[in-house]
Amino acid sequence: MTTATKNIIKKLETLPEVMVNEVEDFIDFLKAKHSKNFSNSIEENRKIVEEPKSLYGAAKGLFIIPKDFNEPLDDLKDYM
């Protein structure tokens, strides 16, 4: 076992479980990134053209217009 591997194991032992899971995911990512299959899948994904999703109605329910929206403001009564 190399010194780097021993150091990594020591550091892993001090991490909380959630962070160990992230490290595991990152290792899987690095393996995929450097494999031949990964580069082929990127080229295939570039060929696939996805239709953009419509944003119509995306803000529905995020805000409410008050019923008195069109009523004159009390602060401007002097000018009317």
Give me the amino acid identity at 41. Answer: S
Stronger pLDDT, 73 or 46, i.e. the higher one: 73
**Any residues with CB less than 8 A from the CB of 20 and at least 6 apart, and which?**
12
Instruction: Please give the span between the terminal C-alpha atoms of the chain, in angstroms, as a whole number.
Output: 84
Selection from 64, 62, 80, 63 nearest residue 72 by Cα: 80
Please give the model's pTM, rounded to 2 decimal places. Answer: 0.40
pLDDT in tens, 22-57: 888 888 888 887 776 655 565 666 666 667 777 788
Q: At what angle do helices 36-47 and 17-33 cross, to 10 degrees?
A: 80
